[in-house]
Amino acid sequence: MDKKCRFALLRRELTSRRYNRRMHAAREMDPEDPLSLFDLWMKDAEEREPSDPNAAALATCTAGGQPGVRMVLVKRVGELRLAFFTNAESRKGVELAENPRAALCFHWKSLGRQVRVEGGVKELPAEDVDNYFHSRSRDSQIGAAVSLQSRPLANREALERMVQSFAEAHPGAIPRPDYWRGFFIEPAQIEFWIDGANRLHDRFLFTRDGTSWLKTRLYP
C-alpha cells in the first residue's frame, strides 16, 4: 500500500472516530440536569485530556463594561462544581467585587468538546477556603501569601526575596491571607459544544428556568 492510500485510510478512520464520538456525546444531551452531564464530560476529560482538564478561561467585567479574561483551575468544593480561588485584590477579584457575574469556557481539544458557563458569582465560606488553602503545597501557600497579584513588580529578585523572608518568618503553618478567597459560579446558562465535520458543530444550550432547565439546539 502506497503512502497516499495509507493517508486516506488513516483520515477515514479518524473521521469515523470523530463522528462516533460526536454522535455518542449528542445522545447524552437528554438529562434534565446539565450539571450531571458536565460531570460526565469532566470525568472523560480527566481520563483523556493530557494536561489540566479542569483549566478554563474565566471572563469578568468591570462595572464600566471593560472585559478581562485569564485561565484558572476550576475546583469542585462539595456540590459546587465551578469554584476557583484567587487574591481578592487582584484584577479579577476587584472586577468580581464591582460586577459579580462571570463566564467560564472549558475546551478539551482531545475530546472535541467545549463547555461555556455563565452566571452570578458568590464567595465560598471561609471554612472551605481554609481547607483548600492548606491542602496546597507549602511553597504554593507562601506564594499566595506574598504575591501582590496584578500589581507592578520591580523585578524577579524582589519577589524571591519576599518569598524567602516570609518562609523564614513562618517556619510552621502558613496563615491564609484574608485577601485569598474562593468564589463559585451559580450557572444561569450552560452550553455544550461538540466538534463536527466541516464546521457543522453540535451546540446545546441549557438555560435555567426557576428550578428546571430549558434545552435549545443552536446553529453552529
What residues are labeled active site? 199
CB distance 182 to 129 below 8 Å? yes
In the beta sheet, which residues pair with residue 73?
55
Quote the radius of gyration of the chain (alpha carbons, Å). 21
Backbone φ and ψ for 204, nearest 5 degrees, come out as -130, 120
Question: Residue 51: what residue type?
Answer: S
| Closest alpha carbon to 73 in 98, 112, 104, 34 | 104
DSSP 35: H
